[in-house]
Each structure stands twice: as C-alpha cells, then as structure tokens.
Chain A
Amino acid sequence: MTLKQIAVRNLMRRKGKAAFVLAGLAIGIATVVAVISFVEAMTGDINHKLEKYGANILIVPRAESLPLTYGGLSLGGVSFEMEEIRETDLARVNSIKNYRNIAALGPLVLGVVKIDTHRVLLSGVDFKTARILKPWWVVDGVFPEAEGVLSGSEAARVLNLQTGSPVNIKGRQLLVSGVLRPTGSQDDQLLFTTMATAQEILEKSGRVSMAEVAALCQNCPIDDMVQQISEALPGAKVMAIQQVVKGRMETLAHFRKFSYGVSGVVILIGALVVLVTMMGSVRERTEEIGIFRAIGFRKSHVMRIVFLEAGIVSVLAGLIGYAAGFAATSAGLRLFIEDRMVHLNVSPGLAAFSFGLALVIGLASSAYPALMAARMDPNDALRAL
C-alpha cells in the first residue's frame, strides 16, 4: 500500500466526482488548445489573404524634391521627368535573400497623355501581375492585349468611353477592351495598357516609373525586405506602406488578444470546478483523514494524497483536452476557412504546454483543499461521527 494507491483507489471509488473534475479541466485545456491552434491557423490564413490584397512595398526613383500629393490629391505639378528605373535593374529584386517572400512584383510606367481636350494619366502595367496586386479590380469587358486599353471608371465617364470605343493616344489607335468598376482609388482616373504599348507611346523604352511589391511578411519582417530591395536597387527609393502593414498587424493582434482572453476565462472556470469539487471531496473524507492522521500520517502525507489525486486527473485532462482541442480546431477550420490550403499541424510544443498547463491548474486549484485536509485535527475528525 502506497500513498499513490490510496489516491487511485479513492478516485476509483468516486468515479463521478473524478469525471466531473476531469471534464472541467479537460474542457478548459481543450479551449486553450483550440483557440491557440485556431488563432495560429487563422493568423496564417488572414495574413496570407491580407498580403494578397495589394502591395505593401513601393519602389520609386530616388528624387531630390518632395512629392506634392496627399491622399490622392495633387497639390502641385507631379513631375514624371525624374530618371526612371531601368527594367533590367528591377530584375535584381528577384535575387534578394528573401526573394521567396515576394508574392508579386508589378512595374508601372506612367505618363501624361492628351485625349481630345483632356489630360489623363496613362499607365503601362503587366496585367498578369496586376491581377495579383489588385484582386479587387472588376472589369466590365476584358483585360487588354497589345493594342487595347482598360479605362478607370472616372476616366471613362470624363472621356465618354465604353467597351469597344476607339481612343487615339498620341496618334496611336487603341480600342477600349473594358472599363474598371469603381475602386475608390486613384485607379479610377487612369487609363491602363500593356507595358510595351505604354513604353512606346511615352517613349520610355526599357524603363519603369515605379514598381509595387506584394511581400509575404509572416516569416520576414517588412523592414528586412525593404532593406534587401534597397541594396539591390541603390538608385531607387524603397518604402514600406506603413499604414497597410500596421493595420494588418493590429488586426491580427486584436484577434489574438480577444481569443486568449476568452480561453483565459474558460481556464479560470475549469480551475474553480477543480477547487470546489476537491473541497467537497475533502469535507466528505473527514473520518478517513482523521484515521490517516491518527495512525501517524504527517500533514505532508495527507496533502500528498490530495495532490496525487489532482495530479492524476490533471494528467488525463491534459491528454484528453489536447486531443479534443485539436479535433475541435480541425472541425472549425473546415467550417470557417474556405481555403483548403490552410494547414493544421500537430505541435509538440503546444501538446507539452497544454499538458503542463493542466498539471499546473489542477495542482494549484487543489492547494487550498489539500491544506484544509492537512490541517484537520485528527481528534476532531474522529469525534465528528
């Protein structure tokens, strides 16, 4: 007979109570595991989706003058006569250390053209890349080929353009292949054509005015990417679009904090279940504890019995909670995330953490009941009958 055997025998005798404590703690652990796993998977998914929505790094030619635009409004003449970036130089971006973090690199050539009596910005883009960088673009019509042009909604209104309309730009006859639905951005005011066509019209062969980069920043801080691109293009100015980056990070941080807060509350409830149930159990065992003390058990022996019982239940709760949390996360991901590419991996670190957390919560919650049991006066305990 050992103290451990006494603990196990008592648990077996009070299976209902033991199961209740086990359930309370396991639910708490399962919630923590599910929340952490879900948050990590969702964070990865959200991050991935956010990064798909537009560029987060801009590459522009280095210029001495300050730009005179703010929030899309030009407050002075925007000069496009600065030295552009060579296309061959831009190719160096694909050789940086973290080139795998580049989801898309979209060069633009910009220039002002006159159509009828209106001055309008013409932009030459790689439409394949543009579709990655600007997934919110919805085209009434189709994307243009070499002799085509895509009109922003505002430009189409001002220039009275629609799909199929001819448009003469610097003596070159182009056909409107489509009109962008309103985006709420400066794209509404532009005309878009292929890079080669725009370079010919604007006489900027082999050069681009700027480039947009969509960088995947989950495993690489944005500042590192900016630094690496700057080193590859010493003649260009490389900037992170701070608002976009900060906004993303704040969204993820809020989501994470809320989730952890909820799981903290559930864990607290689990701990209270353990505390109250163990206290009730100790009160019911007044006679038994009196016997233990009368036959020579020290207070520490009595406490050890209570902790052993709590420890055994906690270990089981950790195992069951982890398995249940993992299963719940798998089910939740299938329900809430459409992207089948989101993966849930078995994490040994999380398993060890949940196991350890169950043990800590179970033992900590049993501390007061254990102390209560140890402090029982054997004489009073035996006389209580």
Chain B
Amino acid sequence: MSYILASNLVKKYGSGEATVTAISDMNFTISSGEFVGIMGVSGSGKSTLLSVMGAMNAPTSGCFVVDDIDIYRLKSEKRADFRREFLGFVFQSFHLVPYLTVIENVMLPLAIIKASGKKKRQMAESALAAVGLQSKSHRLPNQISGGEKERVAIARAIVNEPPILLADEPTGNLDTRTSLEIMDLLRQLNDGGMTIVMVTHSPDCAAFAGRVLQISDGFLISDN
C-alpha cells in the first residue's frame, strides 16, 4: 500500500529580489491505487511539483512522505534507491537513450539490480508486452514513432514494477489518437493497482484520472 502526503510544501528558486516561488504551501494526500491528474497552465508549478514528488528536487520547506518515508530526510544515495524501488518516471520528452535499443532502454533501470541477464530480459519483455511493443524490441529510438517512444518510456518506468508511476505530460508530443491510446494504457496500469500521478494541461487526458489537482501560480486551488 502506498500513501503519499505532501505537507506545507514550498519550493522557491533564486534569492533576494530574484526569488521565484514555484510551489506555495501545498498540502494534499494520495491514496494507494489512485489515478491523480495535476492540471495547470504553463508556469503554474506542475512540473516542479512532479520533480519534488519524484525525489529529485528538494523543497525549500515542508515535507513529502511516501509510505511513511520522509523522502527528503534521506541522503542522496538513499533517495536514488527510493526512486529505483518506488517510482517509475515517464518524462515529457521521452528521454530515451539514443544508442540503446528499445529493449535495452527498458532494461536500463535493471542495470544496477542483482539479477541474471536472463531474468532481466524476461522482465523487460514482460514490460514491453504490457505496452504492446514486443515486436520492436531491437529497434533504436530513432526508428520508432512518437507514440511508440512514449510506450517504451512507460515500459521502462514499469519494468521494476514500482508502486507509483509519475508521468509528466505523457501525451504532450502526441496526436489525439495516439494520446488516447497512451491514456488507455495508463488506465490499464492503474486498474492493475499502480498509483499514477500525471501532469497534464489537456482536459481530455485529465478526464482519465479519478481525481484532479488544479494548480495556479504555485497554489493548489482545487482538488476534485
């Protein structure tokens, strides 16, 4: 069971007169198995919030707890371990490693775990099967479409079977039809018990979420 708690989260950049407040005193909880959308216009603080939730961006103040673990009390290397074990991250620009094949990209999070090559390959093939891309496992990223790249990114995020998936604008670079395919995929993963937090500016995509947090100028203005 995963349980996410954000308490009095504040994130500021810069100092003095050049200080920019990206997140202002944000409080929310997310239960295990929820599909939560985070919506807001550009510059509202969505991606900053996601990076804080991804244990990659320490808040200026406040705390962020996952499964009773105060993430930002952990040392840097322990936070890396937390990311590996608890989180799957889907980036807006896919961020696939260009010189690795599809299956090698999916196996990337497994490079640092102790398992046989065969076991790692099985896990990667299973993740690719879940996103419907088994036939393209030996292609390079520049040999597949945008939608397929997004599927590879999702496969990489779930190969370790993390309890939480964080997705930053997963359909931002995709056409409508492909976007819907990706959203269907995310819903299937959520139906399987995975907690999903998705940043989006698209109401159509947000409709797939069970709950939407609306953010504006760093403030949480609604939680529906």
Which positions in A face B, CB cutoff 8 Å?
Answer: 1-3, 5-6, 9-10, 12-13, 287-288, 290-301, 377-379, 382, 385
4 closest pairs, A vs B, by CB? A296-B84, A1-B107, A13-B99, A296-B83
- Kindly state the separation between the CA atoms of A3 and B113 in the bound complex, as whole angstroms: 10
CB-CB nearest in chain A for B47: A383
Q: Which residues of A contact B160 (CB under 8 A)?
A: 296
Q: Does the CB pair B120–A291 fall under 8 Å?
A: no
Q: Does the CB pair A382–B91 fall under 8 Å?
A: yes
Q: Which residues of A contact B82 (CB under 8 A)?
A: 296
Which positions in B face A, CB cutoff 8 Å?
Answer: 51, 54, 56-57, 76-77, 80-85, 87, 89, 91, 93, 95, 97, 99-100, 104, 107-112, 117, 120, 156, 160
- Kindly state the separation between the CA atoms of A10 and B104 in the bound complex, as whole angstroms: 13
Q: Does the CB pair A296–B81 fall under 8 Å?
A: yes
Q: Which residues of B contact A379 (CB under 8 A)?
A: 51, 56-57
CB-CB nearest in chain B for A285: B97
* Cβ-neighbour of B80 out of A3, A6, A12, A293 (below 8 A): A293
Q: Does the CB pair B108–A291 fall under 8 Å?
A: yes
- Tell me whether A6 and B81 are in contact in the complex, defined as CB-CB below 8 angstroms, given that A13-B99, A379-B56 are known contacts: no
| Given A1-B100, A5-B104, A379-B51: 16 more A-B contacts, CB < 8 Å | A1-B111, A2-B111, A5-B111, A6-B108, A6-B111, A13-B99, A293-B80, A294-B54, A294-B95, A296-B160, A298-B77, A298-B81, A300-B77, A301-B111, A379-B56, A379-B57
* CB-defined A-B contacts under 8 Å, sample of 30: A1-B100, A1-B107, A1-B108, A1-B120, A2-B117, A3-B112, A5-B104, A5-B111, A6-B108, A10-B99, A287-B95, A291-B91, A291-B95, A293-B80, A295-B83, A295-B109, A296-B80, A296-B82, A296-B85, A296-B160, A297-B84, A297-B111, A297-B112, A299-B80, A300-B77, A301-B112, A378-B56, A379-B51, A379-B56, A385-B93
CB-CB nearest in chain B for A293: B80
Q: Does the CB pair B77–A299 fall under 8 Å?
A: yes
Q: Considering residues A287, A288, A291, which has the most beta carbons from chain B within 10 angstroms of its beta carbon? A: A291
- Tell me whether A295 and B108 are in contact in the complex, defined as CB-CB below 8 angstroms, given that A10-B99, A13-B99, A300-B77 are known contacts: yes
* Cβ-neighbour of A299 out of B54, B76, B85, B99 (below 8 A): B76
Q: Which residues of B contact A12 (CB under 8 A)?
A: 99
Q: Does the CB pair A1–B104 fall under 8 Å?
A: yes
- Kindly state the separation between the CA atoms of A299 and B77 in the bound complex, as whole angstroms: 7
Q: Does the CB pair B99–A296 fall under 8 Å?
A: no
- Kindly state the separation between the CA atoms of A299 and B76 in the bound complex, as whole angstroms: 8
Q: Does the CB pair A294–B100 fall under 8 Å?
A: no
Closest Cβ–Cβ distance, residue B135 to chain A (whole Å): 20
- Kindly state the separation between the CA atoms of A297 and B84 in the bound complex, as whole angstroms: 7
Q: Which residues of B contact A297 (CB under 8 A)?
A: 80, 84, 111-112
Q: Which residues of B contact A294 (CB under 8 A)?
A: 54, 56, 83, 89, 91, 95
Q: Considering residues B83, B85, B156, which has the most beta carbons from chain A within 10 angstroms of its beta carbon? A: B83
CB-CB nearest in chain B for A302: B80
Closest Cβ–Cβ distance, residue B42 to chain A (whole Å): 14
Q: Considering residues A1, A2, A5, A293, which has the most beta carbons from chain B within 10 angstroms of its beta carbon? A: A1
Q: Which residues of B contact A296 (CB under 8 A)?
A: 80-85, 87, 109, 112, 160
- Kindly state the separation between the CA atoms of A296 and B76 in the bound complex, as whole angstroms: 11
- Kindly state the separation between the CA atoms of A9 and B101 in the bound complex, as whole angstroms: 11
Q: Which residues of B contact A300 (CB under 8 A)?
A: 77
Closest Cβ–Cβ distance, residue B92 to chain A (whole Å): 9
Closest Cβ–Cβ distance, residue A178 to chain B (whole Å): 81
Q: Does the CB pair B95–A382 fall under 8 Å?
A: yes
- Kindly state the separation between the CA atoms of A305 and B39 in the bound complex, as whole angstroms: 38
Q: Which residues of B contact A2 (CB under 8 A)?
A: 111, 117
Q: Which residues of B contact A290 (CB under 8 A)?
A: 95
Q: Which residues of A contact B51 (CB under 8 A)?
A: 379
Closest Cβ–Cβ distance, residue A380 to chain B (whole Å): 9
Q: Which residues of A contact B83 (CB under 8 A)?
A: 294-296
Q: Does the CB pair B56–A1 fall under 8 Å?
A: no
- Kindly state the separation between the CA atoms of A351 and B144 in the bound complex, as whole angstroms: 48
CB-CB nearest in chain A for B91: A382
Q: Does the CB pair A9–B100 fall under 8 Å?
A: yes
- Kindly state the separation between the CA atoms of A301 and B51 in the bound complex, as whole angstroms: 21
- Kindly state the separation between the CA atoms of A86 and B76 in the bound complex, as whole angstroms: 88
CB-CB nearest in chain B for A301: B112
Q: Which residues of B contact A1 (CB under 8 A)?
A: 100, 104, 107-108, 110-111, 120
